[in-house]
Amino acid sequence: MESKATFQRVRLAVTMGDPAGVGPEVIVKALQHPWVQTACRPVIIGDVTALRRAMDLLGIALPLKIVHELHELPTQSPEGVCVLCRTPLSLEDIAYGRPSAAACRETVQFIRTAVGMTVNKLADAVVTGPIHKDALHRHGFPFPGHTEFLQDLTGASHVVMMLAGPKLRVALATIHCALRDVPERITYESLLDTLETLATSLRRDFGLARPKVAVSGLNPHAGEAGRFGREELDVIAPAVNRFRDTHPWCDVSGPHPPDTVFFRAFEGHFDAVLALYHDQGLIPLKLVHFYEAANVTLGLPIVRTSVDHGTGYDIAGKGLAHCGSLLFAMQTAVTMVRHRNAERILA
């Protein structure tokens, strides 16, 4: 029989991501970490050929417990690493940096399977490895990325992308769109929706009873009283004021000058910054936390975290990829699951 501590390990459905990228390598490296052995029970959902190739590359021999169907998943911690691999790919299918149609098809199935497992309580959270968006799109994947695919799979009404590191959390008001489309996408209503999802998650998933959220401005110096742009006066400040009035439990402020708000958050003044577009938020985040940050989808009925990096085709197969982001993504998922469980018990 398993000890109580083992029984309470959080079950993570970890997708490999693109087998032609760094996903398999970072998984093999992360699985060796002592924290993984004690705090969680990962099931790797991916391709066993790619996993074995990564182990050979790194000179790391992990005992594998390979299953092909969900009903074969062990109900207790198995000896070795549990891998769910439905259709093994050939080495030709997964040449580094050259994802085939078969690999792209499987990559999407990994995500679908992990979400299904979590929705059906066979896992407590999904942790995703990196996918190559352009490769998947070329093979018919209709979503911009995981975030929108997971929203569709779970029927969530509103989701927000947040990247979280040890000292800085950055949520995004817009995600994958051209810079020229950003201003028109930042509306009073969209900001209120994003703040609602962000603040609710900081409270529920991260245990912050009164989260401090800073909203960034869009223009230099947050518009300098309208001289460098009017979005702050016309849209952002009214939304922040409205949210503050209706959510006394959230300490929301802004719009702040974008050039200093991330530094202030890094110094501990805020729990999260709401950035208005992808690179406004992710450049500072990755500058300070690239090897130790997770991407988190807020607003889903399930917990989902991810690595913060992409497929790294330029280094795939060289053994250079750092596994810190995957480890942090797994740790963040465990933290979120524990907070959600505690809330359920208290409710």
Ligand X SMILES: NCC(=O)COP(=O)(O)O
Ligand Y SMILES: NC(=O)C1=CN([C@@H]2O[C@H](COP(=O)(O)OP(=O)(O)OC[C@H]3O[C@@H](n4cnc5c(N)ncnc54)[C@H](O)[C@@H]3O)[C@@H](O)[C@H]2O)C=CC1
45 vs 83: CA distance, rounded Å: 6
The answer to whether residue 99 forms part of the interface with ligand X (CB under 6 A) is no
Among residues 295 and 325, whose Cβ is nearest to ligand X?
Answer: 295
Stretch that binds ligand X, among 36-44, 88-96, 140-148, 227-235 (CB under 6 A): 140-148
C-alpha distance from residue 260 to each of 220, 236, 241, 292 (Å): 11, 17, 21, 22
Binding residues: 146-147, 176, 221, 278, 286, 295, 304
Partner in contact with 42, chosen from ligand Y, ligand X, none, beta carbon below 5 to 8 Å by kind: none
Q: Which of 173, 214, 276, 307 binds ligand Y (CB under 6 A)?
A: 307
Please give the annotated binding residues for a divalent metal cation, written as ranges: 176, 221, 278
Q: Which stretch binds ligand X (CB under 6 A): 27-35, 105-113, 141-149, 228-236?
A: 141-149
Give me 253's structure tokens. Answer: 């402020």
Q: CA 297 → CA 125, 202, 259, distances in Å? A: 11, 12, 25
As a residue count, the chain comes to: 347
Residue 147 binds which of ligand X, ligand Y, none (CB < 5-8 A, kind-dependent): ligand X
Span 227-286, contacts to ligand X by CB under 6 A? 282
Distances (CA, A) of 204 to 124, 125, 181, 310: 16, 15, 32, 28
Continuous H helices in 101-145: 101-119, 133-138
Judged by CB under 6 A, does residue 295 bind ligand X?
Answer: yes
In the list 24, 99, 129, 145, the residue contacting ligand X (rule: CB under 6 A) is 145
Interhelix angle 324-346/23-31, rounded to 10 degrees, is 70
Q: Do residues 197 and 205 touch, judged by C-beta distance below 8 A?
A: no
132 is a contact residue toward ligand Y (CB under 6 A)? yes
Task: For residue 17, state whether it binds ligand X (rule: CB under 6 A).
Answer: no
Interface residue with ligand X, options 52, 132, 146, 339 (CB under 6 A): 146
**Which of 12, 26, 208, 215 is in the footprint of ligand Y by CB under 6 A?**
26
Given its phi and psi angles, is residue 140 left (phi above 0), alpha (psi -120 to 50 degrees) or beta?
left
> Which residues in this chain contact ligand X in the complex, by CB under 6 A?
145-147, 282, 295, 306
